Amino acid sequence: MSSSSVRALSAREIAAAVNGGASATKEVEAALARAKADTNNAILRVHHERALAAAKRIDVRIKAGEKLPLAGVPIAIKDNLCAEGIEVTAASKILKGYVAPYTATAVQRLEHAGAVVVATANMDEFAFGSSNETSAYGPVKNPVDPTRIPGGSSGGSAAAVAAGIVPISLGSDTGGSIRQPASLCGVVGMKPTYGMVSRYGLIAFGSSLDQIGPFATNVADAALCLERMSGWDQNDSTSAARNHAGLAQFASGNSFGTLKGLKIGYVPEHAKGLQNEVGAQLEKAKQALTDAGATLVPVAMPHEQYAVAIYYVLATGEAASNLSRFDGVRFGHRTAEAGTLPEMYAKSRAEGFGREAKRRIMLGTYVLSTGYYDAYYKKAQQVRRLMCRDYEQAYAKCDVILGPVSPTTAFKFGEKLSDPLQMYLSDIFTIAANLAGVPAISVPFGADAKGLPIGLQVQGAQFADDLVLRVAAGLEQLNRA
């Protein structure tokens, strides 16, 4: 099945129809049926009762004269986002059976705008992975070519949109976990500026890096979803109190404006080591942007080469701390062989966590431990600051930075699973945006000779999310031309 053979669902079209009197219940029923018929293991759970009850409420509100920006739009959420009454497991055995007692702010805001959660999407366990092969529920298949990985860690969310099950899904991105699967599955995926979207109700991985973001079939839908989710939340002290008027403007229509006069930065070193077709598409995009009136500006990012190394120190350190809450006491798996209390903790965790989760906990504990903290953790924090300065200097010269998302198109199952370091290096172009907290989007731009999708990345300065979306929309139009 190729990505072009499925109906490209549009959230805005569905919302317009429902606001115009079409039945939200029918839209949701259709999405529930598609989710149930999923053949890619993208969907872990389908929420019939909850979704139909929500759809009915929307039908009543619309009949009463209300207009809702996402009226009746079915969505899937990654298995690390809480929605009250729904099982959420982070695709880990350690959380099997856990039912969320509250709803994540991002999900709650979309529901308030009329969206309906129809399904939970598969993912790498605790978002630890770039291929969706570490899920306790088995890997997700790429809808474009089921012999290949969909990318990760939000592989199920990307595949659910690519397969036409839902027009919008939510993922989380700590080092590329939205953008890389979006690129490999041929859909739009965005990691907003750190602080744009509240992380309340997101199962934490790396708290200084995590950000919730949308997958969509088109840039305008992603903008609409982001606009609805973003804003300050008293339950997340790192959420930003900002006015997102620019986003609202994009979300309201198709007027993305012109690319004329924009300064598009690029990092010359990014061209090295790319699959030929990925490099060719990047060059094609640069030419098309120039033809559309933008100016290309080479920028230097001397510390970006250290991004993966910084990340696997800081992200694992934060993960080791965050995952200490899973101890078999208040929730989650508890061993049947408990002796003493410390034995109960250690056995419950060993039985509940998968291999990659254990590896990252151990690595994170190592870099935080006495004797190694200064050499690894503090050092990584210092180089992270240098990398942030690279970005600041770059954005003094350009408006956005264009580059690759993934060095290659979707790879085969098992290809990188046995070598953790090779797997980590597949995030080489996406990690820097998380370390710097800047917005970044993957937008489809052509395919390789096998028909596998290629995504290009647009990054911006902190809180220039609207500008990033504007350039992405420009690329989307140029790709169609």
Partner 1 sequence: MSITEQDVRHLCKLSSLALSDAEMSRMAGELEAIVGYVKQLQAVDTTGVEPIANVAGLVNVTRPDVPGQMLDQRQVLANAPAKNDVAILVPKAVER
Catalytic residue numbers, as ranges: 78, 153, 177
From the list 163-171, 257-265, 293-301, 332-340, the region that binds partner 1 by CB under 8 A is 332-340
**Min separation Cβ 389 and partner 1, Å:** 9
DSSP codes joined into one string, 278-344: HHHHHHHHHHHHHHTT-EEEE---TTGGGHHHHHHHHHHHHHHHHGGG-SSSSSS---TT--SHHHH
Q: Residues with Cβ < 8 Å from 389, sequence gap 6 or more?
A: none
> Mask of contacts with partner 1, 391-420, x by CB under 8 A?
-----------------------------x
> Mask of contacts with partner 1, 277-306, x by CB under 8 A?
--------------------------x--x
**Total residues at interface with partner 1 (CB under 8 A):** 70
The strands making up 168-173's β-sheet, listed across from edge to edge, are 43-46, 116-121, 74-78, 168-173, 211-216, 188-191, 440-447, 453-460, 400-404, 263-266, 295-298
Question: Does residue 445 contact residue 161 with C-beta atoms inside 8 Å?
Answer: no
Nearer to partner 1, 252 or 335 (CB): 335
Figure out which of the listed residues 269, 284, 379, 477 binds partner 1, where binding follows CB under 8 A. 379
User: What residues pair up with 145 in beta bridges, in sequence order?
Assistant: 142
**Min separation Cβ 120 and partner 1, Å:** 17
Figure out which of the listed residues 258, 287, 382, 393 binds partner 1, where binding follows CB under 8 A. 382
Figure out which of the listed residues 214, 265, 437, 439 binds partner 1, where binding follows CB under 8 A. 437
Q: Which of 201, 185, 247, 238 is nearest to 467 (CA)?
A: 247
Question: Does residue 79 contact residue 89 with C-beta atoms inside 8 Å?
Answer: yes
**Min separation Cβ 176 and partner 1, Å:** 16
**Binding status of residue 329 toward partner 1 by CB under 8 A:** yes
CB neighbours (10 Å) of residue 349?
21
**Binding status of residue 331 toward partner 1 by CB under 8 A:** yes
Report which residue type is found at 477: Q
Question: Does residue 297 contact residue 305 with C-beta atoms inside 8 Å?
Answer: no
**Min separation Cβ 8 and partner 1, Å:** 35
Two tokens at 340?
A: 């003493």
Q: Residues with Cβ < 8 Å from 320, sequence gap 6 or more?
A: 360, 361, 362, 363, 364, 365, 368
Figure out which of the listed residues 199, 333, 416, 470 binds partner 1, where binding follows CB under 8 A. 333
Q: Which residues, 102 to 121, sit near partner 1 by CB under 8 A?
A: 102
Nearer to partner 1, 113 or 436 (CB): 436
Nearer to partner 1, 126 or 250 (CB): 126
Per DSSP (E only), the strands in 95-139 are 116-121
**Binding status of residue 468 toward partner 1 by CB under 8 A:** no
Figure out which of the listed residues 21, 253, 261, 342 binds partner 1, where binding follows CB under 8 A. 342
Beta strand pairing status for 263-266 and 295-298?
Answer: parallel
Q: Which residues, 213 to 252, sit near partner 1 by CB under 8 A?
A: 234, 237-238, 240
Residues 200 and 343: their CA atoms lie apart, in Å, by 31
**Binding status of residue 373 toward partner 1 by CB under 8 A:** no
**Binding status of residue 128 toward partner 1 by CB under 8 A:** no
Secondary structure of residue 424 in the 3-state scheme: helix
**Min separation Cβ 16 and partner 1, Å:** 36
Nearer to partner 1, 284 or 334 (CB): 334
Residues 34 and 118: their CA atoms lie apart, in Å, by 10
Figure out which of the listed residues 339, 396, 480, 481 binds partner 1, where binding follows CB under 8 A. 339
Figure out which of the listed residues 386, 397, 414, 450 binds partner 1, where binding follows CB under 8 A. 386
Two tokens at 77?
A: 């959420």
Binding residues for partner 1, rule: CB under 8 A, are: 97-99, 101-102, 194-195, 208, 234, 237-238, 240, 303, 306, 308-310, 312-313, 320, 324, 327-334, 338-347, 349-350, 353, 358-359, 361-363, 365-367, 369, 375-376, 378-386, 388, 420-421, 424, 435-437, 462
